[in-house]
Amino acid sequence: DIQMTQSPSSVSASVGDRVTITCRASQSISTWLAWYQQKPGKVPKVLISGTSGLRSGVPSRFSGSGSGTDFTLTISSLQPEDFATYYCQQSNSFPWTFGQGTKVEIK
Amino acid sequence: EVQLVESGGGLVKPGGSLSLSCTVSGIPFNLAWMSWVRQAPGKGLEWVGRIVSKGGGGTADYAAPVKGRFIISRDDSKNTLYLEMNSLQIEDTAVYYCTWIPKCSDGSCYLDYWGQGTLVTVSS
């Protein structure tokens, strides 16, 4: 199975900060990576697919990059509504796997 | 409007069985690829399995912890996705979500539109 490792596990940041979350795959997954945001008590929401494709309705302050084994999700200017847990997920091969999550907290 | 509504969760003893349903509206369900994802209390997301459309072969793939115990199926005439869970273990306790896979090609595959989830508790 492909292991997805996110770092950091949590980050404290202020409104307006640039936040970068890293996701590393245990083997190459090409660009088969998606990012999700989950707020407390809510269902996950897809932000990015295919490593860098911003889904409809997602603010442009979110961006994704990478290929192979190393990927990043960047929030260019953190907004109050962005405080949440973020997950990466690979769909290159079965079983699909999620990272363990990164919690973005208010500093 | 796309809607996914799960049902069937509840309390079950270790070793028992439970069947979840997910009724889907707002999309051509017979063409849809669907997935189940679970989340244990206070934990992260865990992919459970995926089923393709009948036209795509109707096959299902599973995560290792559930393979051989869980079965994903669909009834396109009822726009309903199922998750049959057997030999349930305490570690299967989680909220189970059904999700739609709108696209899975060209290096991009993602889960969009999630149900509200149904809680399965495995306890003696």
Q: What is the mean pLDDT of chain A?
A: 97
Percent of chain B with pLDDT over 90: 94
Give the chain B residue whose CA is nearest to the CA of A6.
B44
Summarised one tens digit per residue, pLDDT across range B63-110 is 999 999 999 999 999 999 999 999 999 999 999 999 999 988 888 889
Percent of chain A with pLDDT over 90: 98
Please judge whether B110 and A49 are an interchain contact, meaning their C-beta atoms are less than 8 angstroms apart: yes
Judge whether B62 and B70 are in contact, CB under 8 Å: yes
CA distances from A34 to A28, A67, A70 (A): 14, 12, 13
Please give the pLDDT value at position A85.
98
Q: Which residues contact B98 (CB under 8 A, 6 or more apart)?
A: B4, B6, B20, B22, B24, B34, B35, B36, B81, B83, B114, B115
Judge whether B39 and B98 are in contact, CB under 8 Å: no
Please judge whether A95 and B47 are an interchain contact, meaning their C-beta atoms are less than 8 angstroms apart: yes
Please give the pLDDT value at position A84.
97
Please give the pLDDT value at position B107.
82
Task: Output the six-digit token pair for B119.
Answer: 């809680």
Task: Output the six-digit token pair for B64.
Answer: 């290792």
